[in-house]
Amino acid sequence: MSTNPSALTPNDLRKRIVCWNLKQSALGGAILACSVFLWLLTIRGTTVLVNALQTLPIPGSQSQVLSRMLTVTALLLIAWIGCSSRLPLFVWKNPDADFTGVGLPEWRLNDQWGPGFWLALLGIAPALTLLGILVISQCFSLNKRRVSLACRTLAALVRQDDWVPYPRLLSQRRAVELLYHLKLIHVSKRFGNWEIRIRS
């Protein structure tokens, strides 16, 4: 695989995309595997707690119906807590509004250890499920047109060897997004404007 950006061919870029996709898929798959284990614990714990209600003086048939309804309600509530932005277990840091063509959402563990965090901890299984899906969704396609445009953009940046304005066209932004996450270019806010440059 070519390491010189000026000599990067579409095939080289496709290989890098495949490597990126494999890494994202492996990370997302590992997160989803952890979430499955936590879902089993969550379901088991919810069932045990709800079954404890059957000791209350309620007629047998009504007790079973109530137990099932409470189990489903509790699991739906846990799923809502885990995916809700009001009680974040993981903080979703949105990129700059003018930087949306490149910025991937940044997920990090909430460092505000208040009551909201501990309540959100109940929803760790759905939160990890959502996180795993989002990580896998960050894979890039091997679209021939996009790869070709990314190669041309990279060649133009090599010739410039200086900061240039962040592109306005959506197709060019997608090419820049690809180059940025494959660590081939720098993106920085300079003098109030986003600019791009080849990595040295």
For residue 165, what pLDDT band results from cuts at 50, 70 and 90? confident
Tokens (6 digits) for 20: 């990126």
Q: What is the pTM of this model?
A: 0.73
DSSP output for 62-93: HHHHHHHHHHHHHHHHHHHHHH-SSS-SEEEE
Per-residue pLDDT at 32: 94
Lowest-confidence pick of 41-45, 54-58, 80-84, 136-140: 54-58
For tokens 């959502």, the residue is 130
Identify the residue with better confidence: 13 or 90.
13
What is d(CA 156, CA 67) in angstroms, rounded to the nearest whole number? 65
What is d(CA 7, CA 158) in angstroms, rounded to the nearest whole number? 10
For residue 172, give the 3-state DSSP assignment: helix
Per-residue pLDDT at 29: 94
Per-residue pLDDT at 111: 64
Per-residue pLDDT at 1: 47
Q: For residue 185, which phi and psi values (nearest 5 degrees)?
A: -140, 160
Identify the residue with better confidence: 83 or 102.
83
Per-residue pLDDT at 99: 56
**pLDDT tens-digit readout, 126-156:** 888 888 888 888 888 888 888 888 888 888 8
Burial class from Cβ neighbours inside 10 Å (0-12, 13-18, 19+) for residue 76 reads exposed
Lowest-confidence pick of 18-32, 92-106, 159-173: 92-106
